[in-house]
């Protein structure tokens, strides 16, 4: 396990909420949600291995190892039980925690993610590319998946900051996380999740199209699903108001 970097916002005595980000992004991905989330929760934002200054041991990694990093962090912070919201890889980790540690899981918001993407060769190729050529070799590929053309045209400063963040990620950490995604298959286990769960999809997400969200929704009893139109993989950026409202309403139990 790795001591990952983190930051905490919100009232110290509020219910804990743990946020996990997409591969290639850092905790700043959630900045648009923080004014709302931090009013109601003690928000813990952690960084995956190699992201945002977290250590990057040699890969490959597994989702179980990334999950162990988060559980270690919760133990360090004295948090016995929390809600979890994740985007993409962050939600894969959240699903694993909810499956293996139900007593530590309050509510779940699983956003723009999959319980089993498959295509391990694709992820192995991506890992090999960044190890060989550096992060910039993948910049255009990820931007096409992350954001709608409208967002990229209308918010060039935000896009530039995302590029800067992506290219600052440790290539080995990114590659190891790619290999974790390529190997993940939770379709057969997430039916054990009992935490109240919201599944969010971007209607224009080419990385995890809505059928991935539907597969999760079908397997988690009592879950609800929201599809945000005109949103790509980083739906919280493309549609911040609708995303924040849906996730916050669910996490507050309304």
In whole angstroms, what is the distance from residue 49 CA to residue 166 CA?
13
- Cα(50)–Cα(53) distance, integer angstroms: 6
pLDDT tens per residue across all 254 residues of the chain = 899 999 999 999 999 999 999 999 999 999 999 999 999 999 999 999 999 999 999 999 999 999 999 999 999 999 999 999 999 999 999 999 999 999 999 999 999 999 998 788 899 999 999 999 999 999 999 999 999 999 999 999 999 999 999 999 999 999 999 999 999 999 999 999 999 999 999 999 999 999 999 999 999 999 999 999 999 999 999 999 999 999 999 999 97
pLDDT of residue 118: 74
pLDDT the model gives residue 162: 96
DSSP letters for the chain: -----EEEES-TTSEEEEEEPPTT--GGGGTTTHHHHHHHEEEEEE--TTSTT----SS---HHHHHHHHHHHHHHHT-S-EEEEEETHHHHHHHHHHHH-GGGEEEEEEES--S----HHHHHHHHHHHHHH-GGGGHHHHHHHHS-HHHHHH-HHHHHHHHHHHHHS-HHHHHHHHHHHHH---TTTGGG--S-EEEEEETT-SSS-HHHHHHHHHHSTT-EEEEETT--SSHHHHSHHHHHHHHHHHHTT-
By C-alpha distance, which of 110, 108, 115 is closest to 63?
115
pLDDT of residue 250: 98
* DSSP assignments along 72-137, one per residue: HHHHHHT-S-EEEEEETHHHHHHHHHHHH-GGGEEEEEEES--S----HHHHHHHHHHHHHH-GGG
Q: How far apart are CA 143 and CA 147, in angstroms?
A: 6
Main-chain phi, psi angles of 87, to 5 degrees: -115, 125
Residues 6+ apart with CB under 8 A from 9: 34, 37, 38, 42, 43, 45
What structural domains does the chain harbor? Answer: 6-251 (3.40.50.1820)
């Amino acid at each position: 396990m790795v001591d990952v970097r983190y930051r905490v916002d919100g009232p110290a005595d509020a219910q804990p909420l743990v946020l996990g980000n997409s591969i290639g992004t850092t905790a700043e991905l959630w900045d648009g949600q923080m004014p709302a989330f931090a009013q109601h929760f003690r928000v813990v934002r952690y960084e995956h291995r190699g992201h945002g200054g977290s250590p990057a041991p040699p890969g490959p990694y597994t989702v179980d190892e990334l999950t162990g990093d988060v559980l270690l962090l919760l133990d360090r912070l004295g948090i016995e039980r929390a809600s979890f919201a994740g985007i993409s890889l962050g939600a894969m980790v959240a699903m694993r925690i909810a499956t293996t540690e139900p007593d530590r899981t309050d509510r779940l918001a699983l956003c723009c993610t999959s319980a089993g993407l498959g295509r391990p060769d694709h992820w192995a190729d991506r890992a090999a590319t960044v190890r060989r050529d550096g992060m910039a070799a993948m910049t255009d590929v990820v931007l096409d998946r992350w954001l709608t053309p409208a967002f990229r045209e209308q918010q060039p400063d935000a896009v530039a900051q995302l590029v800067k963040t992506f290219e600052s990620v440790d290539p080995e950490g990114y590659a190891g996380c790619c290999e974790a995604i390529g190997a993940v298959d939770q379709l057969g286990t997430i039916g054990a999740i009992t935490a109240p769960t919201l599944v969010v999809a971007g209607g224009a997400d080419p990385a995890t199209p809505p059928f991935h969200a539907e597969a999760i929704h079908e397997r988690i009893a009592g879950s609800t699903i929201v599809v945000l139109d005109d949103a790509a993989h980083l739906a919280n950026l493309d549609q911040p108001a609708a995303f924040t409202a849906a996730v916050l309403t669910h996490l507050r139990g309304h």
